[in-house]
Amino acid sequence: MDWGNIIILVIAGIAGLIAGWVIGIIFKAALFFAGKGVQRLVSIVALVIGVGAAVWYLPEYIEPHASPIIAEMLPPPSATGSAPVFAEKKPVDNAAVAAAIEVALQDLQDPFFEAVLEREPSRAEAVKGRMIGAYNRGGQGALLSELQKAAQDAIKTSFPYYMARGQEQDLLTAVGFIKQVIEVMSVNDPQTCHLWLYGSVAGQSFDFDKYIMAIGQDRHIQLQSHLAAVVRDASEILPQYDEQLAEQRLAEISDRLLEQMGVEKVGLITSGQMPEGEADAQLACDATAGFFQQILEDDLAVDLLRHRYLTSGG
């Protein structure tokens, strides 16, 4: 573990210590009649939980903001692996970093992510900070790795936001292509298809290389380009639609989907149940493609899609 990570953990630990101390005071007041022994125990438990939770959850949020500063303050470790020798701080070569970022974006080949950065200057600035820190720590390879993580973060948050606010034709085109990608993956690699769709529910990530092998690089870029079009033209305000009617229509389609899956297999698309084999994975993928097909065939397809992405987040 390098000094940068240690400093970030210390910052997180201090934040957790403060939070645990405050929570302990609150619980001590609530347990006034329980006796000093119980109050002391509650205070200790609150401190331990506060520090533990902070060290576990906070570093990924602290790191993007702290890494650039830490990277400038700390020198690289010595070649022998001994303790770092603090030397005169060298200025960051902005031109080299900018060139490295440009190369990384070209290697990533993700028009959707680039469109998100264009629409969200604050995210773009935070991502730039993360990449500078990564580049200073590990060069071009570390920068590309950090960029891939940032792109996955954007999928989780920005994708449903813009899909709910996309222009009608952009939205229909993008979802139609998503359905095609699912159908192709269902045939070529059902397991990767299932992980792509539902792996996050089970706490598992899909293998990006297998995903590319299953659908092809060209189809992947086409998909990301359709999503980028949604992002670039999306409205700032959620368009109005009949939410109650959309909810009703989606429920009817979902009921048909669940009936198709059957009671024993419905968890494959609802609760993180993992496939027992390729047949299970293909069942879930085909049902999901069918779900999108039924939405697209509905006369209120755009409203249904807006409501789905607004309420489900993905």
Residue 229 in contact with residue 173, Cβ under 8 Å?
yes
Which parts of the chain register pLDDT below 50? 1-2, 76-90
Token pair for 94: 């902005």
- Where does residue 231 rank: exposed (0-12), middle (13-18), buried (19+ CB within 10 A)? buried
For residue 301, the model assigns a pLDDT of 97
For residue 50, the model assigns a pLDDT of 56
pTM of the model: 0.67
Counts for the chain of helices (H) and strands (E), in that order:
14, 0
For residue 36, the model assigns a pLDDT of 59
User: What is the rounded distance in angstroms from the CA atom of residue 267 to the CA atom of residue 254?
Assistant: 13
Using CA atoms, how far residue 185 sits from 92, 171, 172, 195, in Å, is 44, 21, 20, 11
Helix (H) / strand (E) element for 143: namely: helix 121-165
Phi, psi of 279 (to 5 degrees): -65, -45
User: What is the rounded distance in angstroms from the CA atom of residue 270 to the CA atom of residue 258?
Assistant: 9
For residue 107, the model assigns a pLDDT of 76
Break the chain into its structural domains and give their ranges: 3-66, 95-160, 166-312
Residue 104 in contact with residue 131, Cβ under 8 Å?
yes
User: What is the rounded distance in angstroms from the CA atom of residue 285 to the CA atom of residue 161?
Assistant: 24
Token pair for 117: 């950065």
pLDDT tens track for 188-239? 999 999 999 998 777 788 888 899 999 999 999 999 999 999 999 999 999 9
Q: Give CA angle at 283 (281, 284), nearest 5°.
A: 65
Residue with tokens 């957790």: 16
